[in-house]
Structure 1
Amino acid sequence: MGDDVRSELQVTSHAQAEAWGTGRVAAAEKIDEGWWALALPIAEGTLASSFGYALMGADGVHVIDPGWASDETFDYWRTFLAEHGRRVQDIETILVTHSHPDHLGLAGRLREASGATVMMTAAESAVLNDVAVGMGGSDEWMRVELLRWGVPDHLHSAMLGELHAAHFSTPLAPDRVIADGEEILLADRTLRAHVTPGHTDGHLCLEDPGAGLLFSGDHVLPRIYSGIGLGQLPGSEPLGAYLRSLSRISELDQCEVLPGHEFRFRGLRLRCAQIAAHHLRRTAAVQEVDRRMSGASVWDVTGHLLWTRGWDNLRGFERQSALRQTELHLAAVRSGDAETWLTGGVISHAG
């Protein structure tokens, strides 16, 4: 979680903010002519909901991020559409910002029920079908991670158990691959694609220039600081890519931001600067620990950093994510990239 920035950002849906703050799933909300925001329940983890978005067009229904693959979420869509004189079979398009199960999960079932065209970036298709699916649930892959991180031997069994308890997205081949800058015609709207690697390597933001809206997925959230590299292709460098993506997307400051979680807001440039600063503070902290503990393992460095819930209290995905984030920062420190970032090479563009 990040700092409370609600007094600095302009909250544009107080109903969503109140629901999020009290742990409830917000009611469906009309955003603009044709556009609706739907808070979709998440079956696992600590977050109550993720946002899906629906454009109700004369040519059918167009969906961004259909949510978790559960009967509850499917019934939610069916009920919502029925209330607006539509059916699941009327869904024409499913756009996916990224491959995590709380965003992509239901896409396959909705496509089967409707014949909809599923769209995502080529990189995210590779993340989903080659990396997440291929590695998820693999003891061999996780053992390599644990050894690389320097996790003590007596914790390996517990962390392998945590891996098997985690939920991974199932394979799904897109019907259409989206490229950076591409324009996508939906009903009477033209969306512009912005590929924003970092959270995952093929993350996609979608801009509706005519309405002044930016669907930001998990790239930019109003309070939460999204994890980095949670869907990483071999040879990629998610942390630097994320900082550059923040700089690029901050140029759309005129847009109202429709995120994957929490609530709608304005103040994109400010939020991008806050997020960049947060990650660079972590980089600086890792740099300092590495100077004091030269050659220390990822596990040892992680244990010497400050975490909101405390390092000793992290378990499951949170513990593995903390190790993964630390590994990325440590790689940047040891490669020399961090020095450039910390002297203003990235954050100055986001601020």
Structure 2
Amino acid sequence: MTTQVTDHRGGVWSIAVPIPDNPLGHTLVHLLETDRGPVLIDTGWDDPDSWEALAAGVTACGFALTDLHGVLITHHHPDHHGLSAKVREASGAWIAMHAADTAVVRRTREATSDGWLGHLLDRLTAAGAPEEHLAPLRTARAGGGGRRMPGLRAALPDREIVPGELLDLPGRRLRAIWTPGHTPGHVCLHLEEEHPARHGGGFGRLFSGDHLLPGITPHIGLYGDPQPEDGADGADGPGEAADPLGDYLDSLERVGRLDPAEVLPAHQHAFTDAGGRVRALLAHHEERLARLGTLLHEPRTAWQLATAMEWNRPWAEIPYSSRTIAVSEAEAHLRRLVKLGRAECVPGPGPVRYQAVDAAP
């Protein structure tokens, strides 16, 4: 296996950790040198080849796994948090995450397969999914479960990343920026230090996770794990009234105002002009919302809307699991339109249908 490590200078490296059977190819795990030892930002997917790449990458950066002091997780998805338990076992490092995503990790560990599948079936049924899409989930539930979900072996974090605070990393100034949308507890991390290459414009470097990527629009869907309505269990969970797309757009504007000199994302490559990328993503989502408003001049379910939306391939070529993700993204856009007063639910039995407000009779 070829170890792909990039020295970004100033005690910052990135390690390309492969994601098995995924077109993204790899997660860029960043290593930040501190006075107490190196700290990882994310860990990669829980897979033997991924672990081998991460371990080799740490060595290529000039450190041993036992040198690792801590792990900062930008969000709970398995290509970021998956190897955290193995890192902690090998090094004794602490694991830190925003409280909202830690709550997702805890619920994931506690939920039964039956509960997860039942929640998903209810959501897809309400969205108007056809029986041929629901049938495999019914079969899996009747058989006592389905494929084991990824990420269940990831560590339960033992520290909290508190938005706005400087993290306890001696010798470095790294501030947490809460950027919900892709997940409820997604964080970016702003290295408040002069860029070693003295890039013109902006200040510092931003470890952006999946929030801001140079050539990909991150998935923004409903926060999909089983959870109480509006955080009714006393946690800060998002509940069923959450507005992930609204969260994401607000977070984008916050990062745009931050104006870092360089962005170090978790996929693809480092880039400059964060403000330009933020403006492009804001424009993309506004155009998409406008197109959906046009589609909603006749009542549609979330499934019908998803089949009519523009994706990176025709709907007939989208795999089964990706269709479920696409419907979640359609639901997030519908939620935003409803919050803005541009769409509303149409009363009636069966799957939930939506219509543009200006199209209502």
| Smaller-chain TM-score bracket | 0.7 to 0.9
Counterpart in the other structure of 2:52? 75
Counterpart in the other structure of 1:318? 322
If you compute each CA radius of gyration, which structure gives the higher value, 1 or 2? 2
Report 1:15-164 matches (<5 A). Answer: 27-130=4-107, 134=111, 138-158=116-136, 164=146
- Change in CA separation of 1:217 and 1:135 when aligned onto 2, cut-off 3 Å: farther
Report 1:337-348 matches (<5 A). Answer: 337-338=341-342
- Change in CA separation of 1:104 and 1:224 when aligned onto 2, cut-off 3 Å: same
Contact 2:75 2:209 in 1 (8 A): yes
- 1:57 is paired with a residue whose SS is coil
Q: Quick one: distance in 2 between partners of 1:167 and 1:92?
A: 29
Does structure 1 residue 184 correspond to structure 2 residue 167?
yes
- 2:89 is paired with a residue whose SS is helix
- 2:156 is paired with a residue whose SS is coil
Counterpart in the other structure of 2:276? 270
Structure 1 unaligned blocks of 5 or more: 1-23, 340-351
Aligned partner letter, 2:92: G
Contact 1:67 1:104 in 2 (8 A): yes
Following superposition, the deviation at residue 136 of structure 1 comes to 6.8
Larger CA deviation: 252-261 vs 79-88 = 79-88
Counterpart among 184, 202, 211 of residue 201 in structure 1: 184
Contact 1:205 1:217 in 2 (8 A): yes
Contact 2:29 2:266 in 1 (8 A): yes
Counterpart in the other structure of 1:14? none
Q: Quick one: distance in 2 between partners of 1:110 and 1:236?
A: 33
Counterpart in the other structure of 2:305? 301
- Change in CA separation of 1:84 and 1:147 when aligned onto 2, cut-off 3 Å: closer
Following superposition, the deviation at residue 152 of structure 1 comes to 1.1
Does structure 1 residue 214 correspond to structure 2 residue 206?
yes
Question: Higher helix fraction: Structure 1 or Structure 2?
Answer: 1
- 1:38 is paired with a residue whose SS is strand
Does structure 1 residue 258 correspond to structure 2 residue 264?
yes
- Change in CA separation of 1:48 and 1:280 when aligned onto 2, cut-off 3 Å: same
Contact 1:287 1:330 in 2 (8 A): no
Q: Answer 1 or 2: higher relative contact order, Cα 8 Å, separation at least 6.
A: 1
RMSD (CA atoms): 2.4
Report 1:219-298 matches (<5 A). Answer: 219-229=211-221, 231=223, 233-234=238-239, 235-291=241-297, 293-294=298-299, 296-298=300-302
Structure 2 unaligned blocks of 5 or more: 195-203, 225-237, 344-361
- 2:177 is paired with a residue whose SS is strand
Q: How many residues align?
A: 314
Following superposition, the deviation at residue 229 of structure 1 comes to 3.2
Q: Quick one: distance in 1 between partners of 2:19 and 2:193?
A: 31
Larger CA deviation: 128-137 vs 100-109 = 128-137
Contact 1:124 1:201 in 2 (8 A): yes
